[in-house]
Amino acid sequence: MMEKMLELKNITKRFPGLVANDSVSLDGVAGEVHAVVGENGAGKSTLMNIITGLYHQDEGEVWSRGEKLEFSGPRDAILKGIGMVHQHFMLVNRFTVVQNIILGYEGTKSGVIDFEQARNKVEELCRLYDFKLDLDKPVGELSVGHQQRVEILKVLYRGADILILDEPTAVLTPQEVEELFTNLEKLKTQGKLILFISHKLHEVLRISDRITVLRRGKVVGTVVAGETNKKRLAEMMVGRPVLFRLEKPECEVQEPVLEVRNVTIKTGEDRQSLNNLSLTLRRGEIYGIAGVEGNGQRELVEAVMGLTAYHEGSILIKGQETKGKCVRDVRKIGVGYIPEDRHHRAVVLPMTVWENAVLGMEGDVDYGSWWKLNIEGIKEFTKRKIAEFDIRLGTIDSAIRNLSGGNQQKVVLARELSTDPDVIIAAQPVRGLDIGAIEFVHKQLINARSNGKGVLMISADLEEVLSVSDRVGIMYNGEIVKEFVPGELEVEEIGHYMLGASQKVGEASHD
Amino acid sequence: MTKKTKIMLLQIVSPIIAVLFAVIVSSVLIVVIGKNPLEVYQIMLEFSFGRVDSIAAILFNATPLIFSGLSVAIGFRLGLFNIGAEGQYFMGALCAAYVGFSFGNLPMIIHLPLAIIAAMVGGALWALIPIYLKLKRGVHEVISTIMLNYVAYSLINYLISDVFMDNNQHIPEGTGSPIIRTPKLLASVLMPKLNDFLSLFGIDLPSYAYVNWFFVLALVLAAGIYYLVARTPFGFRMRAVGSSPGAAEASGINPQGVYLRGFLLSGAIAGLIGLSHLLCFYGYMDLDFPKSLGFNGIAVALMGNNNPFGIVVSALLFGFLSRGAEGIQTFLGIPMEVVVIMQGTIILSVVVAASILGRYIRIWEKKEA
Amino acid sequence: MGDMAELLASALRMSMPVLITALGAIYSERSGVTNIGLEGMMLTGAFWAAYGSLHYGPMGGVFMAILMAVLMALLHGVVTITYRVDQIVSGMAINILAYGLTRFFSIELFGMATTSPHVDGLSKISIPLLKDVEWLQPLTKDISPIIIVGILLVFFTYWVLERTTFGLRLKAVGENPLAADTLGIKVLHYRYYGVLISGAFAGLAGAYLALEHTGMYVEGMTQGKGYIALAAMIFGNWNPFGALGAACLFGFAESLSLRVMQNKFIPYQFIKMLPYLLTIFVLAGVVRKAHPPASVGIPYAREEH
């Protein structure tokens, strides 16, 4: 009888306005990969934060190896052998790899750190698990895959037996995912328990032994991976049958509406430059940009929108050159923008819903003259959009930060589409949204494209890019290295391009 | 009552509670030096409200504080700290003084507004330096404005002592040396007091009361600022940039332009702070020109929650405090600095109360949406 | 040669208050808390150093200075760390409070708002061996012990930040408090340490100003040095040796300006302006190099993520 390494009994956690975890029970044994799946907002993160001691449950118990656990903080969880590898890395960019690994676990009696001893221990671990890392580099300069290794090492350095990986593959290339899975298999043979949080169902089915599905804070069920399939899991996650094919009507592609020609931007050491980048977006198509984050996607968007100046190359929107134009003038040509960073770029959190609905348009004819805001008119407009976009909220006078992510994004969409732009730049448009909102946003983008607009969509989620786009460009190191139509390339090949390999398939990736 | 009303009430009550807390702290201090707090407050209230000249003094004291609070509040709304109101009002006052003693033969209808405009220009120019440095070189405006305050003090000192020193002062034999001051300002630039106007309503202020039309101007300005911030596109942009420059920029608003214009406006208003004293009370500018009116604006703005109406009320409160301080110093021998201490304590308690309150409001609002 | 030493010694003396305060500011800022109130804490230190020296001797003065300044820092800490109020607002309030409190107690305890009586400074010390070298004497003979302490603190601060557990965690808390929290580090505690240390240093700097430099407390004697110390910290890139360099620069400029004060050509008011103008120029020139701690100025709250 295998003793349970981890057992959650009826865990409940409440926040103002919602029950994040509702009587959740699950267990894990040594040498197992146990996946926890659910939509955004299903309660996965909260549950993990409880297991790792960051939050405390309102009801229920956490048991491990026959012992009830009471945590007063993350330190206690670490002492009990529970280690979390966060989705958003918890690293101090200015510190070296070694400094990041020993932080909080410096192992000193006198208060003075023995860096040499620490380094040796880390080197040892790297050898044991076959991790290749430059230990003295500031972590901020490492690749995403390497940063993740640092996170895993942090946890192993503290002797963790229970590893929790939160959406580990979200930012990895297909090759890096393979490497990760190899490492996980090795950890399994060492008797570790691995909790694998993900919404990527095909990966989950590959690597896990058992899968627990959460929906709206409750456990829907725990199944054995070999005995289920993607369709069933998705249904459990959402509570209804889910379509995996997007409805995309046929659409004729017309003339170019956005042309980026040989744009090069050199910026400081920590920002990727654009490297002679060229792409063409046409009316009636969705051009998706695939690629690992940090390869210039953000810089491309900022250059197109006029947020960053460019001097080499040219960008034409509807035939007009945008060099030197400010954001306002670029938008005037006919561009809508759905920024990647919703909270800092798309909405002003403390302002009301109606104010956010016209952000940037407050001086326009319908909404005010220079000496007076037409508040009534703005509110009318907002109410219409609320109905049109089915936005759930209390009143339009409440601060937009009180709305859910999905509803906030709908306000952004409503605003950006209201000017009937010919080009729509959508950067990570469905990040952090639940399935219903995701479907809605994709539908809006497809609608726009079917009405003859051009949509440029940037996403780190390869699945999304392949299902939504008409054409895809893979971005690596500041340029488009390959363009193709979804279906033309195998996922493996795509991965190679994402890592910067040349056209030769099967070439080993850089490390 | 609805949640919204509850929240609004709390927003008014919380500064009051904060003030009470400050009062308690000051009482402790008064006890420490061996005096009776109740006696202190009794004298303060009697002295401040029991006499007509005190009411006039409160309004007079409040006038510069309203300008100061509005100036600082505009900065806060933008997400900037205009601690430089100190230097800005000194520069503004000198510019107004210059206009005042330099141009003879101008009717008041031109001379006075000219001086006011000069003050606004002076204040705005002194604010231009820090905002330019911030926008172009990333210099934090807190340090640069404070440094410029010190520079302004020295510069004004020099200008009054050396450049504009009035060497034609008429001093009777043996009664002392000339005062270090600018020439006296011409009558055509001086702001009339409210005495004549109020006597129409049967209120007779003594001749040593100096409350003047700048008080009315301050109220009008407060109303104007309220309208600007809440009801115009520029005010909308100010608030958007102040809360989220990133989102404003992405939407097409130009944060740099908004920062520049807003900060210059703040400086222009700061320039007006000293005018009530200059153009009505003193009639010239000397080395004893009142200092720290700019700093006091910080307390007024915070207590008024950056809201023009709240600022007027806070300014009146602080006006009452300074008047009361005169009273307790005269009658009880307690140093006026108690008031400064109260000011500092008020700022801290108000912002702590606001922070706690803000958290509760957010929790309630989240429950609703 | 002797003149050179004299000039250096004078610059060193002038730079001490800024240096010590800037070092303290490093602890606070690197833990994530901006401390604009250092000006007020230094003034508080100066006042209580004078009072303490009058009644308990110079060491008593130093002790009281540090104690009272730490109390002010505690107030700043509670307001900004526990109540998460804006750090600049709190800092300015502390300055206003300090100004009022020192004047108030000055009237009560000294009878005057503006100055204290002359007070004794600490006994001077001389560096063994070097004190007999004649041309080095301005630097080595009969100098204030606090100057030695100040220089030692530079090295001490470097050692703490780079080699100790405390330093590593303090820096982490200022760069990425959430990451530190997940590793079991008590973010709020370390921020308090940072603020309190900065207060203690500011108090010491104030004591130096009152006891060693001027020989008494004078109203407003800090003259903006608390803010200049922040500029020195920024110019020094939040690094103790950088702060040393920056403070020396300011000390040098001030020392030079004092000598020039007596001349007939430039009015003294302009010379008085120099330190402040220098500060602005220095900050304006710094821009892109600066690497402030990533989380400085942002209050930390766990459940907000």
Per-domain residue ranges of chain C: 2-122+130-290
Chain C residues lying within 8 Å of B341, measured CB to CB: 97, 100-101, 104
Phi-psi label, residue A83: left if phi above 0, alpha if psi -120 to 50, beta otherwise? beta
Question: Is the same domain home to A275 and A421?
Answer: yes
Query: Closest to B162 (Cβ–Cβ): which among C88, C96, C267?
Result: C267
| Bridge partners, A315 (sequence order) | A260
What is the per-residue pLDDT across A194-228, written as a single tens digit (0 to 9) for each?
A: 999 987 888 899 999 999 999 888 999 999 988 88
Cβ distance of B335 and C75 shorter than 8 Å: no
Question: Is the same domain home to A129 and A214?
Answer: yes
| Bridge partners, A259 (sequence order) | A280, A316
SS3 B301: helix
SS3 A7: strand
Which chains does chain B touch, 3 or more C-beta pairs < 8 A? A, C
By mean pLDDT, which of A47-51, C4-8, C172-176, C281-285 is the weakest? Answer: C4-8
Q: Is the pLDDT confidence value at B39 over 60?
A: yes
Question: Is the same domain home to B249 and B187?
Answer: yes
Could you tell me the strand order of the sheet in which A4-15 lies? A18-29, A4-15, A59-64, A67-69
Question: Is the same domain home to A229 and A266?
Answer: no
Question: Is the same domain home to B227 and B295?
Answer: yes
What is the per-residue pLDDT across C60-112, written as a single tens digit (0 to 9) for each?
A: 999 999 999 999 999 999 999 999 998 998 999 999 899 889 988 888 888 87
Question: Is the same domain home to B187 and B267?
Answer: yes
SS3 A11: strand
Q: Is the pLDDT confidence value at A475 over 70?
A: yes
Cβ distance of B254 and A326 shorter than 8 Å: yes
Chain C residues lying within 8 Å of B295, measured CB to CB: 92, 96
What is the per-residue pLDDT across B81-105, written as a single tens digit (0 to 9) for each?
A: 999 999 999 999 999 999 998 888 8
Alpha carbon B333 to its chain's center? 27
Instruction: Please choose, from the candidates A146, A190, A195, A140, the residue with its C-alpha nearest in 3D space to the C-alpha of residue A167.
Output: A195
Question: Is the same domain home to B70 and B206?
Answer: yes
Across the range C248-256, mean pLDDT stands at 88
**pTM over cut 0.90:** no
Which of the 8 DSSP states describes residue B129? H
Q: How many CB atoms lie within 10 A of CB C262?
A: 8
Mean pLDDT, rounded, of chain C = 88
Chain C residues lying within 8 Å of A432, measured CB to CB: none
For residues B159 and B94, is the Cβ–Cβ distance under 8 A? yes
| pLDDT score for C305 | 35
The first and second tokens of residue A449, run together, are 């494209």
Question: Is the same domain home to B64 and B186?
Answer: yes
For B259, the domain range is 46-169+176-333
Give me the CATH code for the C2-122+130-290 domain, please.
1.10.3470
In a domain, A505, yes or no: no
In a domain, B18, yes or no: yes
| Chain A nearest CA to C169, separation (Å) | 7
How large a percentage of chain B has pLDDT more than 90?
A: 46
Q: Distance between CA atoms of B53 and B34, rounded to whole angstroms?
A: 30
Mean pLDDT, rounded, of chain B = 88
Question: Is the same domain home to B345 and B284?
Answer: no
What is the per-residue pLDDT across A240-257, written as a single tens digit (0 to 9) for each?
A: 666 555 677 877 888 899
| pLDDT score for A508 | 40
What is the per-residue pLDDT across B329-340, written as a single tens digit (0 to 9) for each?
A: 888 777 777 778
Query: Closest to A373 (Cβ–Cβ): which among B236, B362, B368?
Result: B236
| Chain A nearest CA to B257, separation (Å) | 12
Cβ distance of C89 and B137 shorter than 8 Å: no
| Chain C nearest CA to B172, separation (Å) | 30
The first and second tokens of residue A27, run together, are 């267990």
Cβ distance of A103 and C303 shorter than 8 Å: no
Q: Is C107 on the interface with B (CB under 8 A)?
A: yes
Cβ distance of B351 and C269 shorter than 8 Å: no
Confidence of residue B157 (pLDDT cuts 50, 70, 90): very high
| pLDDT score for A490 | 83
Q: Is the pLDDT confidence value at B247 over 90?
A: yes
| pLDDT score for B334 | 77
| pLDDT score for B49 | 82
Cβ distance of A16 and B366 shorter than 8 Å: yes
The first and second tokens of residue A106, run together, are 């410096």
Q: Is the pLDDT confidence value at B302 over 50?
A: yes
Q: Is the pLDDT confidence value at C220 over 90?
A: no
Phi-psi label, residue A167: left if phi above 0, alpha if psi -120 to 50, beta otherwise? left
Per-residue burial over A413-441, b if 16 or more Cβ lie within 10 Å, else e, is bbbbbbeebbbbbbbbbbbbbbbebbbbb
Question: Is the same domain home to B23 and B161?
Answer: no
What is the per-residue pLDDT across A381-415, written as a single tens digit (0 to 9) for each?
A: 999 999 999 898 888 888 898 888 889 999 999 99
Question: Is the same domain home to B119 and B182?
Answer: yes
Number of domain units in chain B:
2
Q: Locate tokens 């200092």: which residue?
A: B291
- Of A203, A238, A273, which one is at a domain's C-terminal end? A238
Confidence of residue A269 (pLDDT cuts 50, 70, 90): low
For residues B73 and B226, is the Cβ–Cβ distance under 8 A? no
Residue B76: CATH number of its domain: 1.10.3470
Confidence of residue A88 (pLDDT cuts 50, 70, 90): confident
Q: Distance between CA atoms of B35 and C108, rounded to whole angstroms?
A: 12
What is the per-residue pLDDT across C129-155, written as a single tens digit (0 to 9) for each?
A: 777 777 777 777 778 889 999 999 999
- Of A238, A270, A286, which one is at a domain's C-terminal end? A238
In a domain, B165, yes or no: yes
In a domain, A215, yes or no: yes
| pLDDT score for C304 | 44
Which of the 8 DSSP states describes residue A72? S
Q: What are phi and psi of A476, to 5 degrees?
A: -145, 130
Across the range B175-186, mean pLDDT stands at 83
Chain A residues lying within 8 Å of C31, measured CB to CB: none
Question: Is the same domain home to A292 and A196?
Answer: no
For residues C210 and C49, is the Cβ–Cβ distance under 8 A? yes
Q: Locate tokens 């008409």: which residue?
A: A470
Cβ distance of B340 and C96 shorter than 8 Å: yes
Question: Is the same domain home to B232 and B317?
Answer: yes
Q: Distance between CA atoms of B170 and C143, rounded to whole angstroms?
A: 52
Cβ distance of B355 and C227 shorter than 8 Å: no
Residue A267: CATH number of its domain: 3.40.50.300
Q: What are phi and psi of A114, to 5 degrees?
A: -95, 90
Q: What are phi and psi of B293, to 5 degrees?
A: -65, -25
| pLDDT score for C176 | 93
Question: Is the same domain home to B204 and B328?
Answer: yes
Q: Distance between CA atoms of A123 and A136, rounded to whole angstroms?
A: 11
Question: Is the same domain home to A106 and A208?
Answer: yes
Q: Is B240 on the interface with C (CB under 8 A)?
A: no
Cβ distance of C184 and A54 shorter than 8 Å: no
Query: Closest to A84 (Cβ–Cβ): which among C175, C178, C182?
Result: C182
Which chains does chain A touch, 3 or more C-beta pairs < 8 A? B, C
Cβ distance of C175 and A93 shorter than 8 Å: yes
Question: Is the same domain home to A215 and A118?
Answer: yes
Query: Closest to C273 (Cβ–Cβ): which among B138, B154, B338?
Result: B154
For residues C229 and C18, is the Cβ–Cβ distance under 8 A? yes
Q: Which residue of B has its CA nearest to A408?
A: B369
Q: Is A393 on the interface with C (CB under 8 A)?
A: no
Cβ distance of C175 and A108 shorter than 8 Å: no
Instruction: Please choose, from the candidates B367, B24, C218, C202, the residue with its C-alpha nearest in 3D space to the C-alpha of residue A19.
Output: B367
SS3 C96: helix
Q: Is C175 on the interface with A (CB under 8 A)?
A: yes
Question: Is the same domain home to A404 and A294?
Answer: yes
| pLDDT score for C1 | 59
State the best of A14, A46, A89, A94 to mutate against chain C, taking most chain C CBs within 10 Å: A94
| pLDDT score for C125 | 78
SS3 A218: strand
For A348, the enclosing helix (H) or strand (E) is: none
Q: Which residue of A has its CA nearest to B364?
A: A16
In a domain, B242, yes or no: yes
Chain C residues lying within 8 Å of B154, measured CB to CB: 269-270, 272-273
A201 compared with C288, residue with greater pLDDT: A201
Chain B residues lying within 8 Å of A337, measured CB to CB: 250
| Bridge partners, A215 (sequence order) | A218
Q: Which residue of A has its CA nearest to C164?
A: A112
In a domain, A213, yes or no: yes
| Helix B85-102 / helix B255-271 crossing angle, nearest 10 deg | 60
Q: Is C94 on the interface with B (CB under 8 A)?
A: yes
State the best of A340, A345, A425 to mutate against chain B, taking most chain B CBs within 10 Å: A345
Instruction: Please choose, from the candidates B223, B196, B216, the residue with its C-alpha nearest in 3D space to the C-alpha of residue B207.
Output: B196
Cβ distance of B369 and A355 shorter than 8 Å: no
What is the per-residue pLDDT across C32-69, written as a single tens digit (0 to 9) for each?
A: 999 999 999 999 999 999 999 999 989 999 999 999 99
Q: Is B169 on the interface with A (CB under 8 A)?
A: no
In a domain, B211, yes or no: yes
Mean pLDDT, rounded, of chain A = 87
Q: Is B347 on the interface with C (CB under 8 A)?
A: yes
What is the per-residue pLDDT across A285-340, written as a single tens digit (0 to 9) for each?
A: 999 999 877 788 988 999 999 999 888 899 999 999 999 899 999 999 999 999 99
- CA distances, A417 to each of A258, A315, A405, B45, C296 (Å): 17, 22, 18, 60, 38
Chain A residues lying within 8 Å of B251, measured CB to CB: 327, 359-361
Query: Closest to B231 (Cβ–Cβ): which among A326, A367, A373?
Result: A373
The first and second tokens of residue C11, run together, are 């610059």
State the best of A322, A325, A327 to mutate against chain B, taking most chain B CBs within 10 Å: A327
| pLDDT score for B128 | 97
In a domain, B41, yes or no: no
C201 compared with C255, residue with greater pLDDT: C201
For A69, the domain range is 4-238
Question: Is the same domain home to B145 and B89?
Answer: yes
- CA distances, B225 to each of A450, B125, B270, B307 (Å): 47, 20, 13, 9
- Of A180, A212, A238, which one is at a domain's C-terminal end? A238
The first and second tokens of residue A456, run together, are 């440029």
Question: Is the same domain home to A303 and A224?
Answer: no
Question: Is the same domain home to B153 and B292?
Answer: yes
By mean pLDDT, which of A292-301, B68-77, B129-138, C172-181 is the weakest? Answer: A292-301
| Chain C nearest CA to B339, separation (Å) | 8
Number of domain units in chain A:
2
For B336, the enclosing helix (H) or strand (E) is: none
What is the per-residue pLDDT across B197-226, written as a single tens digit (0 to 9) for each?
A: 888 888 888 888 888 999 999 999 999 999
In a domain, A246, yes or no: no
Q: Is B365 on the interface with A (CB under 8 A)?
A: yes
Cβ distance of B231 and A355 shorter than 8 Å: no
| pLDDT score for A1 | 45
Q: Is C223 on the interface with A (CB under 8 A)?
A: no
| Chain B nearest CA to A489, separation (Å) | 35
| pLDDT score for A102 | 93
Chain A residues lying within 8 Å of C302, measured CB to CB: 54
What is the per-residue pLDDT across B40-80, written as a single tens digit (0 to 9) for each?
A: 888 888 888 888 888 889 999 999 999 999 999 999 999 99
Alpha carbon B245 to its chain's center? 27
